[in-house]
Each structure stands twice: as structure tokens, then as C-alpha cells.
Amino acid sequence: MPLLVDFDTVALLAGLRRLLECESPSSDAEAVARSADEVTSLGIELLGDEPERIVIDGTTHLRWRFGARTEVLVLTHHDTVWPLGSLAVHPVEVNAGVLTGPGCFDMKAGVVMAMHAIAALPARDGVCLLVTGDEEVGSPSSRELIEAEASGARAALVTEASAPGGALKTERKGVSWYELRVNGRAAHAGLDPERGVNATVELAHQVLAASALGDAAAGTTVTPTLADSGTAGNTVPAAASVYIDVRARTTAEQLRVDAAIRALKPVLPGAELVVLGGPNRRPLEREASHGLFERATVLGAQLGLEPFEGVAVGGGSDGNLTAGMGVPTLDGLGAVGGGAHAADEHVIVAQLAPRTALLSALIADLLAEEVA
């Protein structure tokens, strides 16, 4: 039977407001550290224990570990994409049952929900709550921490925000990031352009070649994004570069594109290519989430929740990391709302307590099975 707890929406909102009013852009280590202080304070109040404060490459992460080993890893993050000063333009407000504020949906609501869900458990042994501080920039310093904690765990539950309509995220595309650099040769564009090797022209060839690697039928996108070239308007460019964002539903597709990008060849005589980067997050494939989704569906029905779906989404999360290790992973267990990273970012207040109850029941059910 699911854990039947009447979670207090007022308390959930109060905790969320506290975290939201402490801005924490990923790029500002001091702001993330201040946010970690606020998360720590709230966590001590709800969980009764201080976390381990783990600072890696200047970024602050928090870990609450209950018991000798991790059976259920609850993953969340407290950094956001919003720069300092965003609160002045987008203050935290609640109107007509909708809470707005920078980072409310993605994903400070998930931090508060995770704390309340764990606090309500009749027993916590086997649970680890990991609150990282660099998810929005690809988890460069927390990746090894996440993977170490997930190693040997029976499940990873990710309190990223839900998909539209409250759907859980049962599939996420893998993410690869590349920088493709072109080395050419400079020359005067008017006097002797033929002596140069035009890096801009070579870059144009490579952008088209990379774009052609996408496969719409397979759900694979290859998107050239930020580009840069040249130094002066009358000089044949000696250098150029482009960033390439790749999303793939399967590991096989991710690896196919990786091999193809690394195999790109220059078109212009004398041009050179340098490829930096690679896969950042493996896909969260449906096989990794299916069992947990079925379990959550049953528990949700027992709790009297409206039926929810499991959907595939394009964005990556730390759930990709745990799923890539073979750990059963379910994502989207956080807030119901919308507008992530946008001016209309919002959380549906009435869904905070029911979804926290679902998370708590799912953790309890997993722990009970382990004991049995």
C-alpha cells in the first residue's frame, strides 16, 4: 500500500519561496554557495540532519545519506539558468493557484518536494538525497559524484519537473556537444585572396555536412549553433569555429553521429579540422524507466491521483547519467507546471502535495521491497 500522508501545501510553498528568493545561476559559484546554505537550512529543519557539503571545482553540492548504503538515489539540483537580478523582473508570486518565479519549475520545487517526501518516510535507511549545483551546465563537476552514488543503487528517482500535463519522463534523448574548429590561412582579401585558405568557406561546407547527419525518423537532431569566423573585413579568415548540439534517442544513434563528426574531412586544400567534445549524457531509454513507471502508475492510482502518461522528451538531465550506468531511472517526478527557462515559468500549486505524496510512496515502496 502507498504511504498515505497529507502533505501541507502551505509548508511546501513556504520552503519553495525561501529557495527561490536566493538566486543561484550555475555560472556564479558564490551565488550557488549561498543557495546551498539555504537548502541546507531547510533540509535540517525537515530532515533533522546536516548534509555533507561537497565543493568540487568551486561548485557546491549537498548530500544527505541515510544508512550504510544507497538503495534509492533521489536526484535534484539547486542551480538555475536565471542570472542574478532576475527576481527584480520576475518576482515570486502566487496568483489564481499558479506560482511564478525564476527557477520554480526547473527545478527548485523538486528540491523542496524531495525533502518533504523523504521526511515523511517511516524509515529512511537506504535513501540518499543528492542536491547538485551544476546540472544546468551539463554537470561537469557533479557527474562523478552522481555516478559514484548511483553505483549499486536499485533505483534513481529524479525530481526534475514533469512533462506537459504532469506526464512522467520515461525517455530522454542523449546529449552530445562539439566544437568544430577550422584552421585555414590568412591573406589579403583584395590583393591576393588566392594565397589564403578561407576558413569561413570551409566552415560552411562542414556546417552542411554536420547538419546532414541528423535522422528525423530516428529522432536524431544535429544542430550547428554558435559560429565564429575571421578577424577583419578585408582578410581571408585563418580560423573559424562552430558549436554543434546533438540529441539522440538511442546510444547506437549517439555513437553513429559521434563517429561521423570525428570522420569529417576538409573540403578545401590546406584546411585543417579539429573536433573537441563528444557525448555528455547517454540516452535515458525506455527500458531503464519502464518498471519504475509501472510501479508509479499503480501507486498513483492507489493514492487517487489522476492518471498520468510516460513520455519521451528531448532535453537531458542527470537521469541520463544514472540510466547510462544501467540503473533503473524515473524522471519528471517534480512539479507540474511549465515554462522552464522562460518568462512564464510556473508551478501549479494544487499539484505540489499530490506529487510529493507520489514520490514519497514510490521511495517507500522501493525500500519495502528491498527489506522483503
As a whole number of angstroms, the distance between CA 6 and CA 12 comes to 12
pLDDT at 59 over 60: yes
Domain boundaries, the chain: 9-172+283-371, 174-281
Residue 90's pLDDT band (cuts 50, 70, 90): very high
Residue 4's pLDDT band (cuts 50, 70, 90): low
Which tens digits make up the pLDDT trace of 35-50? Answer: 999 999 999 999 999 9
As a whole number of angstroms, the distance between CA 283 and CA 321 comes to 8
Q: What is the pLDDT of residue 6?
A: 81
As a whole number of angstroms, the distance between CA 320 and CA 331 comes to 9
How far apart are the two ends of the chain, measured CA to CA in Å? 14
Kindly report the average pLDDT of the chain as a whole number.
Answer: 96
What pTM was computed for the model?
0.89
As a whole number of angstroms, the distance between CA 323 and CA 172 comes to 10
Which tens digits make up the pLDDT trace of 197-225? Answer: 999 999 999 999 999 999 999 999 999 99
Taking a C-beta distance cutoff of 8 angstroms, is the pair 14, 108 a contact?
A: no
Integer angstrom CA distances of residue 287 from 13, 162, 258, 293, 326: 35, 19, 23, 10, 10
Mean pLDDT, range 5-24, rounded to an integer:
95
Q: What is the pLDDT of residue 369?
A: 79
As a whole number of angstroms, the distance between CA 238 and CA 166 comes to 50
Q: Is the bond preceding 107 in cis, omega lying within 30 degrees of 0?
A: yes
The residues, ordered by sequence, that sit 6+ positions from 67 with a Cβ below 8 Å of its Cβ are 124, 125, 126, 127
User: In 21-85, which ranges are continuous DSSP H helix?
Assistant: 29-47
Which tens digits make up the pLDDT trace of 251-292? Answer: 999 999 999 999 999 999 999 999 999 999 999 999 999 999
Taking a C-beta distance cutoff of 8 angstroms, is the pair 146, 132 a contact?
A: yes
Which tens digits make up the pLDDT trace of 128-147? Answer: 999 999 999 999 999 999 99
Residue 372's pLDDT band (cuts 50, 70, 90): very low
Which tens digits make up the pLDDT trace of 168-192? Answer: 999 999 999 999 999 999 999 999 9
pLDDT at 5 over 80: no
pLDDT at 2 over 80: no
CA angle centred on 12, ends 61 and 44, rounded to 5°: 45
Domain topology for 9-172+283-371: Aminopeptidase (3.40.630)
CA angle centred on 116, ends 110 and 120, rounded to 5°: 140
Domain 174-281 has CATH 3.40.225.10: no
Q: Which residues pair with 63 in a beta bridge?
A: 52, 130
Mean pLDDT, range 7-23, rounded to an integer:
97
